[in-house]
Structure formats: structure tokens, C-alpha cells
Amino acid sequence: MSYLDQTLTFTNNKICYLENDVELQVMMDWEDSIMSASAVYICQNGGDILEIGFGMGISAGYIQSHSITSHTIIENHPDVIPKAQAWAQGKPNITIINGSWYDIKNSLSTYNGLFYDTWGDDDMDQFSSSLSSLIKPEGIATWWNNEPTATNFYNIPNVTYDTHNVTPTENCYFNSTTYYLPKWQH
């Protein structure tokens, strides 16, 4: 069963689902400091921000705490979309786009900052080759990095890393105590 077909469970500290009676976590609140650092990085020059993946909305809240012009959020999971829409109520600089980022990438603008953090994304292997077309000259990007070293799954060149000490609770996706925050500039 595809991730998009899974029924998600939302609690105060995580989003998860069951697959073959095993709980798989999509996002957890221990990521808070990473989401904050990611927002600081992509919002440092202000302007227009693209966030691919809403999740628990942690990063979105941090992005909104910065002086930015616009904040476009793309979310594809049908259980998360209504939560993103409700969260965006009364925030005039936010646009929520429902669907696959890859399917609509050619209709998007370009952005000063981009944060990519998805789960179960069938098009994640297209992120590296699509990055430059989504970023303005001198724009910056970061993404969720599952690698326990200063490397990235996407093999994006010219990336630097900030290290962050983290204390993940038990989960299925990241269990290192050091997080390597990727930083890329167009």
C-alpha cells in the first residue's frame, strides 16, 4: 500500500501509521530544533519561501516567525492537507498547494529559500535535478537529511553542513545523536 493510501494517526508528539502491525513514524516532535534551524537558514534572506511537505507544521511555524514575503507549502497526503489548510487560516502570505510537488513543479515560481521534507515521496529521486529550477539566483535550500554523516542521499554537490546535537525518541527513520543540516546555495 502506498504511503498516500495510509490512514495517518496524529498525536501531540508524532504522525504515524501502521503497516503490517508495525508503527511507522512520519514525523515526531523531537525534530523541533532541526525544523527551527532549517527555517533560520532558508529564511535568512527573506523573500519567497517554498516548503515541500507540511507534516506536523513545526517548520511552517518557524518559517512564519521570520520576515518573509510569501510562503508556499506543497502537501500531498490527504490526511495532512486539511491540517495544513486549517493552520494557514488567517495567514495571508501562505499558499497551500495540494498534490505532488513534482507533478506541478513546472507551474511553480522560483523561490529565495526552499525546505524539502517529505515522507514516502515517490519522486524524491527527482529532487536533485529539479532543485535549480525552483530556486532564484543566490537562493538557498535545505532538506531533511537522514544520513548520519556529512553526506546527502540526493548527491547534491557543493553542500555544506551544520551539525546539531539531537536526542531522537525511538523511531524508524533517524536514530543518530548528530544531525547534519545540509546548506546549499544556487
pLDDT tens-digit series, residues 54-69: 999 999 999 999 999 9
Spatial separation of the C-alpha atoms in residues 119 and 117, rounded to whole Å:
7
pLDDT bracket for residue 41 (50, 70, 90)? very high
pLDDT bracket for residue 32 (50, 70, 90)? very high
pTM (whole model) above 0.85: yes
Give the pLDDT mean for 12-17.
97
Give the pLDDT mean for 31-37.
98
Write out pLDDT tens, residues 77-132: 999 999 999 999 999 999 999 999 999 999 999 999 999 999 999 999 999 999 99
Q: For position 1, what pLDDT does the model report? A: 82
Q: How long is the chain?
A: 186
Does 142 have pLDDT greater than 90?
yes
Spatial separation of the C-alpha atoms in residues 162 and 136, rounded to whole Å:
23
Q: For position 44, what pLDDT does the model report? A: 98
Give yes or no for a contact between 115 and 75, defined as CB atoms under 8 angstroms apart: no
Spatial separation of the C-alpha atoms in residues 110 and 48, rounded to whole Å:
8
Spatial separation of the C-alpha atoms in residues 80 and 57, rounded to whole Å:
10
Q: For position 155, what pLDDT does the model report? A: 93
Amino acid symbol at 145: N
Per the DSSP assignment, residues forming a β-bridge with 17 are: 24
